Amino acid sequence: MRTHVSSLHTIVCTIVRRCAARRISTAALCALTARLPQDTRRVLTLYKVYDYSVPAIAARLALTPAQVEHHLITAAHAVAEACSQHTGGSDSSESAADGARRRRART
């Protein structure tokens, strides 16, 4: 489970960094967060703002760790989609290596 949580953390952080790199405004991210389902918004806030662990969030919100992970994945997909729409891209799950290869192929 620890490896899975670590991978999930990496995915969420990578998506947020990509949005920052694409200059998605804080206001746009806040508006996106406001549109998330309430439990997903709570989980994301505890995870990213207050640095709670998945087990701590599960205990605090009376959820299972799997449910917490589901909410984090839901939030990550929503943020990735918003970044994709903001930049006009269509592949929100593109890896950094794939993106670099694609950019090199264009030049």
* pLDDT tens sequence across 9-61: 676 666 666 666 666 667 777 788 888 999 999 998 898 888 899 999 999 99
pTM: 0.64
Q: What b-and-e string marks burial along 50-83, b requiring 16 or more CB atoms within 10 Å of the CB? A: eebebeebbeeeebebebbbebbebbbebbbebb
Pick from 19, 17, 4: nearest CA to 65: 4
Asked whether the beta carbons of 49 and 41 are under 8 A apart, the reply is: no
Model confidence pLDDT, tens digit, residues 50-101 = 889 999 999 999 999 999 999 999 988 887 787 777 655 444 444 444 554 5
Tokens coding 106: 């264009």
Q: Which CATH class is domain 2-85?
A: mainly alpha
